[in-house]
């Protein structure tokens, strides 16, 4: 899990720290972030997405080179290309341009404190306007904490203890000399070991570093970017299907569709009383199956079959986010921005409460749903508010920062809506007739 995030010159966040530790100094498994519109909740969530994006820039380089040279057949992994096209992975310079504070002359600084099986570490990344200028990982090496790598343009320092043989170390060192700056060390490393089996990796890199690689590559994020489409990165266990609405799957994995049908039927019947069954319409083409989600649903007193694309916005939103919810119960980190969009307040509360009971990983949500503040089903120290300070900087604080004597019987929602923790829109009386008259 993550213990903290520090951001400087990241989007609208000039200097922000998000502390995710509880009173016992352990990382919290559920985080709910509140704040008024436009305050920076999505930007905060985007820091996790940016981290995941930086891990894939070497893969993007390969794909772009293949496209430019028209050697598409050289790319053996079709799923990799489909992911690239679906999630629009970017090169590092574009990632920096999208995330670094506009017109800022200072470096962008992102720092993630994490905890893996009780062992703490820190990963730091700094960039100028076009490339990485500092990258560092501190984590347990054997028994004690140490530096795995600490890289700046003038000095590439990589701990040989990462690798179990000198040839692997030398290979990564040569690639780092060649590519670092336009790519992170982690992206270079992951590119080198791509398509290798878990057993091969265990034989080539140290146990603790292997655990870190698993952790950092299993982060899943779904982020909203203004009025543009959502963007996501989804890292799934092998048994989970990534896209429930439609897609292609290898015919040898058809049993995954069968199991997903059963799971979706169970889930949708619990969240929508009119749905009787979920199933996939399947079209076979050589070694692939093209699938489309269908629903058997009670409409006007009769059971009718409809394409899932005709379902309500709220139901579609839930199904799109369901894989990310499942990830959070499998010892991985999942970040969902504006989780409640289009979903009834009470259903949101039921979903989050049910998730919290089964979380094995870490779930970070931005939300406007204040019903989650009521009752005792969700701990008060999971609730955070982002505010703007007098100097223009932002801060993100757990509500216990404002009142550490909140008990189970306190009405936190009422206090929040009354402005006790800030993070709410100002009361405004808008004369819409005046607005209309201004357009005449």
Taking alpha carbons only, the member of 230, 192, 221 closest to residue 50 is 221
Choice among 56-65, 100-109, 348-357 with the minimum mean pLDDT: 56-65
User: Where residue 74 falls among pLDDT bands split at 50, 70, 90?
Assistant: very low
Burial (CB count within 10 angstroms: exposed 0-12, middle 13-18, buried 19+), residue 420: middle
Question: What is the rounded CA–CA span in Å between residue 383 and residue 432?
Answer: 35
pLDDT at 236: 81
Mean pLDDT of 156-172: 88
> SS3 of 127, please?
strand
- Tell the residue number behind the tokens 């997903």, with chain if given: 260
Mean pLDDT of 243-263: 92
Choice among 24-38, 227-241, 301-315, 322-336 with the minimum mean pLDDT: 227-241
Mean pLDDT of 369-388: 91
- Is the model's pLDDT at 246 over the cut of 50? yes
Express each pLDDT in 183-198 by its tens digit.
999 999 988 877 565 5
User: Where residue 86 falls among pLDDT bands split at 50, 70, 90?
Assistant: very low
Taking alpha carbons only, the member of 363, 397, 360 closest to residue 380 is 397
pLDDT at 391: 84
The alpha carbon torsion through 311, 235, 110, 87 (nearest 10 deg) reads -50
Greater confidence, 436 or 47? 47
Average pLDDT, the chain: 87
Express each pLDDT in 268-324 by its tens digit.
999 998 999 999 999 998 889 999 999 999 998 899 999 999 999 889 999 999 999
pLDDT at 127: 97
Instruction: Quote the percentage of the chain above a pLDDT of 70.
Output: 89
Burial (CB count within 10 angstroms: exposed 0-12, middle 13-18, buried 19+), residue 329: middle
Which domains does the chain show, CATH number per domain?
A: 1-235+332-440 (3.40.50.300), 237-319 (no CATH)
Express each pLDDT in 118-147 by its tens digit.
999 999 999 999 999 999 999 998 888 999
pLDDT at 439: 87
pLDDT at 377: 87
Mean pLDDT of 44-50: 94
- Angstrom CA distances, 94 to 54, 108, 130, 381, stand at 10, 14, 8, 36
């Amino acid at each position: 899990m993550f213990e903290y995030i520090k951001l400087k010159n990241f989007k609208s966040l000039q200097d922000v720290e998000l502390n995710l530790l509880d009173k016992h100094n352990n990382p919290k498994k559920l985080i709910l972030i509140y704040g008024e519109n436009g305050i920076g909740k999505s930007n905060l969530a985007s820091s996790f997405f940016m981290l995941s994006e930086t891990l894939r820039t070497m893969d993007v380089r390969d794909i772009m080179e293949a496209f430019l040279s028209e050697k598409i057949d050289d790319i053996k992994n079709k799923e990799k290309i489909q992911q690239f096209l679906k999630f629009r992975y970017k090169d590092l310079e574009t990632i920096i341009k999208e995330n670094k504070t506009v017109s800022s002359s200072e470096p962008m600084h992102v720092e993630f404190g994490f905890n893996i099986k009780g062992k703490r570490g820190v990963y730091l990344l700094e960039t100028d306007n076009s490339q990485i200028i500092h990258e560092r990982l501190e984590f347990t090496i054997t028994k004690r904490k140490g530096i795995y790598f600490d890289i700046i343009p003038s000095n590439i320092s990589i701990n040989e203890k990462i690798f179990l043989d000198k040839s692997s170390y030398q290979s990564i060192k040569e690639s780092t000399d060649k590519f670092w700056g336009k790519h992170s060390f982690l992206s270079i490393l992951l590119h080198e070991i791509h398509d290798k089996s878990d057993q091969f990796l265990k034989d080539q890199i140290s146990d603790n570093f292997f655990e870190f690689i698993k952790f950092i590559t299993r982060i899943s994020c779904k982020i909203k970017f203004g009025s543009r489409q959502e963007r996501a990165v989804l890292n799934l266990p092998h048994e989970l299907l990534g896209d429930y609405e439609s897609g292609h799957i290898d015919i040898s994995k058809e049993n995954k569709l069968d199991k997903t049908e059963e799971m979706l039927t169970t889930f949708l019947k619990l969240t929508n009383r009119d749905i009787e069954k979920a199933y996939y319409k399947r079209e076979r083409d050589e070694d692939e199956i093209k699938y489309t989600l269908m629903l058997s649903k009670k409409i006007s007193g009769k059971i009718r079959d409809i394409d899932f694309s005709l379902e309500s916005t709220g139901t579609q939103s839930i199904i799109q986010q369901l894989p990310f919810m499942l990830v959070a119960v499998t010892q991985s980190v999942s970040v969902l921005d504006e989780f409640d969009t289009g979903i009834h307040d009470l259903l949101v509360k039921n979903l989050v409460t049910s998730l919290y009971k089964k979380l094995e990983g870490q779930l970070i949500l931005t939300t406007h749903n204040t019903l989650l503040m009521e009752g005792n089903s969700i701990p008060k120290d999971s609730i955070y508010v982002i505010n703007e300070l007098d100097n223009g900087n932002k801060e993100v604080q757990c509500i216990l920062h404002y009142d550490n004597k909140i008990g189970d019987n306190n009405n936190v929602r009422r206090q929040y809506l009354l402005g006790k923790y800030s993070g709410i829109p100002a009361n405004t009386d808008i004369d819409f007739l005046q607005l209309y008259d201004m357009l005449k």
